[in-house]
Structure 1
Amino acid sequence: MEEKSYKEYLEHITTFIFDVDGVLTDGSVIITTNGDMLRTMNIKDGYAIKTAVNKGYNICIISGGTNEGVRLRLKGLGVKDIYLGAHNKIEQLNDYFNKNSIKRENVLYMGDDVPDYQAMKMIGLPCCPQDAVPEIKAICKYISHKKGGKGAARDVIEQVMKVQGKWNGNYDAKYD
């Protein structure tokens, strides 16, 4: 039986789930003298997330990290479902699905490392950045040409929204 192209899944996606470190960031941190860990996020990823929220897509963040600055940034983009400190991502994934009556086949999950593995195996369209670890790449139906924190989230959001005819015509959107 021939494997379907990832493009055949795009028209059915209603929900995006993203890890943070290594997906929305490049995975590196700057540690300040008082121990704070600073991350950078790609502004184009942010624009795509905000656009998807505005167009009615479900966006969920499931991350092992606990940085409240990350939560503030994502809330500022309109993301309501943010699970930080998630060390068993299946638990948060099941909680999110149950609360929102989401079908797994309508979900695109982008992760980059071993903590995402089990959760990614449970959904319709597992994706990863170009620089994900080999174990994650092996289970993905799509590997972005972009690295984590360098537009990988924008890549998948834009592809889904273009296939569904929801990407263009949003040039006057308010954006932070």
Structure 2
Amino acid sequence: MAKSYKEILNEITTFIFDIDGVLTDSSVHITPEGEMLRIMHIRDGFAMKAAIESGYKVCIISGGSNEGVRIRLQNLGITDIHLGSSDKVKTFKEYVEIYNINSGHVLYMGDDIPDYHVMQLVGLPTCPQDAVAEIKTISKYISHKNGGKGAVREVIEQVMKVQGKWNTYFDGKHD
């Protein structure tokens, strides 16, 4: 019998996120110079930092490539940032092999067709509320939040609460 998403939350050790449509709302603001600007939700960033500081692995796999995004993610403590990935399945397989991660213990949040095949390889495929229909169909959990609007925070918080790490994170040293 297949496990429910709530049962799988106990097994998650690793979070993998797409950027556009997951950490952002899919909007791109283009400057007159042609630079593409994205907006990220501050609470998603806080949750990713809390996850890292609590011992989880956090990885980014995105087809997009933006140095401003890379700097933001690095400032949160994320070291596994794969931008410009044209083959997310290959990037994912290399990542789990390097760190000897059980793919069943991975939560992946994607929102669009480029995430489809890699999401089929993880224990807990998830998506924001505004993901495309094909991604919603294969997701074991659909966030109540849209991409770029707290969906990442929602899934990280759920995992950490189920594993008893959310409240212990706030032991006074993370004010």
Q: What is the match of residue 131 of structure 1?
A: 130
Matched to 1:11, the amino acid is: N
Query: After superposition, where does 1:47-126 map in structure 2 within 5 Å?
Result: 47-126=46-125
Q: Give how far 1:173 is off.
A: 4.8
Q: Distance in 2 between matches of 1:10 and 1:40?
A: 28
State the secondary structure of the residue aligned to 1:82: strand
Q: Distance in 2 between matches of 1:146 and 1:121?
A: 22
Q: Give how far 1:170 is off.
A: 3.0
Structure 1 window deviating more from structure 2 (162-171 vs 18-27): it is 162-171
Matched to 1:97, the amino acid is: V
Q: Which runs of 5+ in 2 are unaligned?
A: none
Q: Distance in 1 between matches of 2:157 and 2:126?
A: 14
Q: Distance in 1 between matches of 2:174 and 2:87?
A: 35
Q: Quick check: 2:54–2:169 contact (8 Å CA) kept in 1?
A: no
1:30 aligns with 2:29: yes
Query: After superposition, where does 1:1-20 map in structure 2 within 5 Å?
Result: 3-20=2-19
Q: Distance in 2 between matches of 1:174 and 1:55?
A: 11
Q: Which runs of 5+ in 1 are unaligned?
A: none
The alignment covers a number of residue pairs equal to: 174
Q: Distance in 1 between matches of 2:82 and 2:41?
A: 20
Matched to 1:167, the amino acid is: W
Q: Distance in 1 between matches of 2:157 and 2:173?
A: 15
Q: What is the match of residue 20 of structure 2?
A: 21
Percent same amino acid among aligned pairs? 62
**Closer, same or farther in 2 for the Cα pair 1:173/1:36, shift >3 Å?**
farther
Q: What is the match of residue 159 of structure 2?
A: 160
Q: Give how far 1:87 is off.
A: 1.3
State the secondary structure of the residue aligned to 1:50: helix
Q: Distance in 1 between matches of 2:87 and 2:27?
A: 22
Q: Which deviations, in whole Å up to 9, do the C-alpha atoms of 1:88-126 show, x marking residues without a partner?
A: 100100110111000010000000000000000011000
State the secondary structure of the residue aligned to 2:81: strand
Q: Distance in 2 between matches of 1:135 and 1:164?
A: 30
Q: Give how far 1:39 is off.
A: 0.4
State the secondary structure of the residue aligned to 1:35: coil
Q: Distance in 1 between matches of 2:25 and 2:159?
A: 22
TM-score (norm: length of structure 2) = 0.96
TM-score (norm: length of structure 1) = 0.96
Q: Give how far 1:169 is off.
A: 3.7
Q: Give how far 1:174 is off.
A: 5.2
